[in-house]
Structure 1
């Protein structure tokens, strides 16, 4: 009915599959059939059924990966770097003019002349690449860097400003800087979210162009971005070098007419399990399994690092490869590989445990100095006063993982009158308290007392003591 639909809806929201939900439904229907055949105990059975369903559902949800974990494991590392608002790669205009900046039409230049001669010339470079200087005429600055333009203007303006070219004792000085910078038009093509033509600042770089294009698409490459200038491929950009090492050498400054091309990826590999970044990574053809693990941030603390499982497609079917740690650096990755790092075994190689009537019950290390019953009791600060000395119990795990019980005469061992027992890993020594073994029972008081109830019996207990525990007599008591 309605309750089943609500339960199914909630299970679906929490990630439970249809198959798992059907198992819960079958359990529910089986229990209903049993209840229908029993005329009594219906409420009890329904209550038990609800508890069983909760337990089964809880187990399923615990085994089922969370939606967040699944989403992250399917993400491609670095792909969101160009579509976040907090990282635009937008160039700053509040910086000193770079000496390697190449001038072009639309740039505003400021030429300052001082010392024996003083003047300031402020002009925008014309579409033909020139500025017009009085008494000299057109001066072509197109394509020159700031440094080259300064040297060129010294020679050119020396005709009207004496001393500019005198390197030994100049009587005048000149400096060219940028006033405002021109926009440039570039094209972003290939596997990006919004391919097209973009007008950018002439200080812009490849990374800013990728940001303006919305980042790479689901099949776009971050490792093989091409920069084409004047029909020639002048650079191949690997974005991982920036993400992993902060290396910005590949973030090349753009020029008018540049084309940024993002091809499809070649190799995409998934790594999951006990690594710090379980997700997908784009790999190059010559990169190995050890490189993949470094991209994933390395192993978790509880990872089994001596081997990794690689599931690979061979063109017809899947195959499983177990790669040993010595081969990580030579095992090359292929497109579609799924690498899994398993956890270490959930067991101890040197654990001892002591429970019960000792001052410090707990877990201890099995070693050369602590490997007998007497040493373990002494390490736990000895027996408490209520320890039952006639018999203790030692639980030991056999080779087949079954448990055997070994009786221990704890008093004789501690006194040295009985042979000490050698301990092995995972032994659990239980020393009972005398209070655990005695059943003193309860006494019941009811009637005209404040708190009628049952109370634990104690030695030398009197009726008056019991009445006091029950809160005393009421006024109606006789």
Structure 2
């Protein structure tokens, strides 16, 4: 029975299956006419489509610098980018051809478009059809259906009506597979002109991506689509890039031509603009205002009162000129010309109504000025002068952990921090810095900070002016006289009340001992140790200088030895070089050990070993951080070095160095001529005569706590002998830098 007759629809329902034999094989080939339609590939003919050529480069300074860019670089020192060039430069990595995108409802179907038709009910349909040259598809048992020119949104209803003429109760669903390809032409000042086979969904912008956009001479502001000899679109790409305006981006049709004309001209926007770059003029009437609009305007730091326009006029003997004007009113309406450079300066980061407080304060601030403002208005109370570091120290005295064994501070650390919870302020001197705007000179106005609080009506409560800077100093910033400094000192050991004491200006060691209740009966006066931080700092500086001096001497000596070895025979020179390298290694290791030492800041009082009171202590004025340690009388003497057994024998009265050396026993390689003593009072005693025994170091009476050092004289080098070479020099170093016996332990490790 012929398809389409009414009798078919009246027959009893029966299930019919309509399928494509190759449906399974083609199910995954959807969306475009072929892969080449996706690729938007330039080719001399449609048959060449199918292989995308590589992107040939990007426009702008990354690949080639235009003459105008070079000109701007000579003027500004910077190679500015061409605005919009990056839009196409990124295309190679960001552009993806149209694939799988929804088909627009208003898309007109045409020859080559593929539809996938599915139906359920009285008939099962699973059919893939492509619109043929007659504009139709042919569905088995149903017949031809005209679809060319039908909008995509209407295709399903058209097919449903066609099926309904033959079968009742059929639900129809239509989707789209591959869409047809169209051929367009990219001409003019294009980066890659040619013939392009693209998807029928392609637009002017997407095809420009595929072609790489304009070349360095091409326009980005007049991208035209020509159809049937007429211009049907004129796209300003700046409007799209700067504001997202795609109103001129039309869908392309088969046979369209994209024409890229030459650029009208270029200007440069430099300085304080949101997007400094080289910009293309759209017309000969473009203004500064319109170009700033494309550039995103000016940042808040731009100074609209001062703009500089550099202009080229090739007809003049001096072709370049510059103008200055404000970017307001007529200034913004100025017309730009090809080659112009607009330079917008930044505002001066100056405050017209502010004063600054800085230094030893809670926090540096910039406060608003008001007429009649004084220092006391800027610093309402003394609490404003408590620094953040002081508060941090105060907060740090409270443990916050859960484990008491971890969070408790060591006693020595606690004692050293007593009195240091706040940064002491220099109440006698603070200063106002004032800039004279007429001649740009700076005036200093000192004032007594203490009087600002004790007598606000005094002249020290300086009346401020806009732009003033008020600086508050601590006693560490500017050292105050001794009688105005805080003095917290520690006394430890054999005194009746050890602790940390606050002393007044001018008080001495004797005053400190009186505060501490005096010495105990076990006090060993000869071993008294006194430490001062300033002395430690000076000793450390001198120690570094000495180490540097030793290194310089080493280099000079090595240079001399090397020069002398050149005048010898090859065999002797080889032996001398080996000796030189060995000595160099020893010397370098000695200097490294030297640098490990840390001065203590100890001051030796030089008391008589038999002293039994502090009557002979110097009348030394105390300073903040001083530490006095009075030990009990030690019971031992220490002996190190080339002895049979390093030991700490009991001290016995009137015993001499020779006595302890004999008890310890010397090794066969002991250098008895260079024995020295590290005394418990911090002094160092070395051999001062050519004899041993009672006429030299061996006859010296050893005091409790003294350390006897016996060097080694053999050629065999050990860590100990490397140090003890040049014993007299090392002994002097120990004495001069207050290194103490602890330094020997460092060297022995």
Q: TM-score higher than 0.5 here?
A: yes
CA contact (8 A) 1:78 1:240 kept: no
Alignment correspondent of 2:369: 367
State the SS of the aligned residue for 1:210: helix
The corresponding residue for 1:70 is 78
Contact 1:89 1:207 in 2 (8 A): no
* Aligned counterparts of 1:258 and 1:77: Cα–Cα separation in 2: 24
Distance 1:138 1:187 in 2: 34
Q: How does 1:42-121 map to 2 (within 5 A)?
A: 70-71=78-79, 73-81=80-88, 83-88=90-95, 90-95=97-102, 97-109=103-115
d(CA) in 1 for partners of 2:180 and 2:474? 89
Contact kept? 1:310, 1:337, Cα under 8 Å: yes
Alignment of 1:224 onto 2:265: no
> CA distance change for structure 1 residues 269 and 289 in 2, over 3 Å: closer, same or farther?
same
Q: 1:392 to 1:153 in 2, by over 3 A?
A: closer
Asked if the contact 1:207/1:251 (under 8 Å) is kept, the reply is: yes
Displacement of 1:412 in angstroms is: 4.7
Q: CA deviation at 1:354?
A: 4.7
Alpha-carbon spacing, 1:366–1:100, altered in 2? closer, same or farther (3 Å)? closer
Q: Say whether the 8 Å CA contact 1:74–1:280 is kept in structure 2.
A: yes
2:442 corresponds to: 403
Is this contact kept in 2: 1:288–1:328, CA < 8 A? no
Contact 1:82 1:211 in 2 (8 A): no
Equivalent of residue 252 in structure 2, options 248, 251, 254:
254
After superposition, the Cα gap between the structure-2 partners of 1:100 and 1:426, relative to the gap in structure 1 and judged at 3 Å, is closer
- After superposing the two structures, state which structure 1 stretch, 465-474 or 366-375, moved more: 465-474
Shift of 1:255: 1.5
Q: Which runs of 5+ in 1 are unaligned?
A: 1-64, 164-169
Change (3 A) 1:403 1:373: same
User: Among 414, 423, 442, which residue is 2:464 paired with?
Assistant: 423
Q: Which moved more, 1:404-413 or 1:301-310?
A: 404-413
Moved more, 375-384 or 133-142: 133-142
SS of residue paired to 1:212: helix
Seen in structure 2, the aligned counterparts of structure 1 residues 153 and 329 have a Cα distance that, compared at 3 Å, is farther
Q: Is the 8 A contact 2:373 2:464 kept in 1?
A: yes
Match of 2:165 in 1: 161
CA distance in 1, matches of 2:627, 2:223: 92
Equivalent position SS for 1:101: coil
C-alpha displacement of 1:333: 3.2
How far apart, CA to CA, are the structure 1 residues paired with 2:346 and 2:451?
Answer: 43
Contact kept, 8 Å, 1:351 with 1:363, in 2: the verdict is no
Measure the CA separation in 1 of the matches of 2:682 and 2:375. Answer: 46
User: What's the TM-score once normalised by structure 1's chain length?
Assistant: 0.66
Q: 2:193 aligns with which of 192, 195, 201?
A: 195
C-alpha spacing 1:371/1:470, structure 2 compared with 1 (3 Å): farther
Report 1:388-467 matches (<5 A): 388-389=426-427, 392-398=430-436, 399-416=438-455, 418-419=458-459, 420-430=461-471, 436-437=478-479, 459=622
Report what 2:43 is aligned to.
none
Match of 1:310 in 2: 309
8 Å CA contact retained: 1:186, 1:255: yes
Distance 2:155 2:473 in 1: 94
| Greater displacement, 250-259 / 328-337 | 328-337
- How do residues 349-364 of structure 1 correspond to structure 2 at under 5 angstroms? 349-354=352-357, 358-360=360-362, 362-364=364-366
The separation in 2 between residues aligned to 1:329 and 1:474, in whole angstroms, is 78
Structure 1 Cα separation of the partners of residues 90 and 385 of structure 2: 66
Q: Distance between the aligned counterparts of 1:99 and 1:434, measured in 2?
A: 81
Match of 2:343 in 1: 340
Quote how far apart the aligned CAs of 1:261 are. 1.0
In 2, are the aligned partners of 1:91 and 1:204 still within 8 Å (CA)? yes
Inter-partner Cα distance in structure 1 for 2:446 and 2:177 = 94
The CA deviation at 1:260 is: 0.8
Instruction: Flag the 1:345–1:380 CA change in 2: closer, same or farther, 3 A.
Output: farther
- Out of 130, 146, 162, the residue aligned to residue 124 of structure 1 is 130
Structure number with bigger Rg = 2
Name the TM-score, length of structure 2 as normaliser.
Answer: 0.45
Q: In the superposition, relative to structure 1, how do residues 306 and 115 fare at CA in structure 2: closer, same or farther (>3 Å)? A: farther
**Kept in 2: contact 1:287–1:333 (CA 8 A):** yes
- The DSSP-based 3-state class of the residue aligned with 1:275 is coil
Could you say what secondary structure the match of 2:91 adopts? coil
Q: Using a 3 Å threshold, how does the CA distance of structure 1 residues 454 and 220 change in structure 2: closer, same or farther? A: same
Say if 1:452 and 1:92 are closer, same or farther in 2 by CA, change over 3 A: closer
Q: What's the offset of the Cα at 1:407?
A: 4.5
Give the match's secondary structure for 1:324: coil
Q: Which runs of 5+ in 2 are unaligned?
A: 1-72, 387-422, 483-533, 544-596, 604-619, 631-680, 684-736, 745-749
> How many Å separate the matches in 2 of 1:178 and 1:387?
83
Please tell me whether the aligned partners of residues 275 and 299 of structure 1 are also in contact (alpha carbons under 8 angstroms): yes
Deviation (angstroms), 1:376: 3.5
**Corresponding residue SS for 1:266:** coil
For the residues of structure 2 that align with 1:291 and 1:272, how far apart are their CA atoms? 16
Contact 1:451–1:470 (8 Å) recurs in 2? no
Q: Cα offset for 1:197?
A: 0.4
Contact 1:146 1:176 in 2 (8 A): no
Residue 239 (structure 2) aligns with: 241
The alpha carbon displacement at 1:259 in A equals: 0.8
How many angstroms apart in 2 are the aligned matches of 1:473 and 1:150?
102
For 1:196 and 1:283, the matched residues in 2 are separated by: 26
Q: CA distance change for structure 1 residues 306 and 355 in 2, over 3 Å: closer, same or farther? A: closer
In structure 1, the partner of 2:33 is: none
Alpha carbons of structure 1 residues 149 and 325: separation in structure 2 relative to 1, 3 Å: same
Q: Distance in 2 between matches of 1:179 and 1:87?
A: 25
Using the alignment, how far apart are the partners of 1:229 and 1:373 within structure 2?
Answer: 78
Distance 1:244 1:139 in 2: 46
Q: Is the 8 A contact 2:599 2:738 kept in 1?
A: yes
Native 8 Å contact 1:193 1:213 kept in 2 = yes
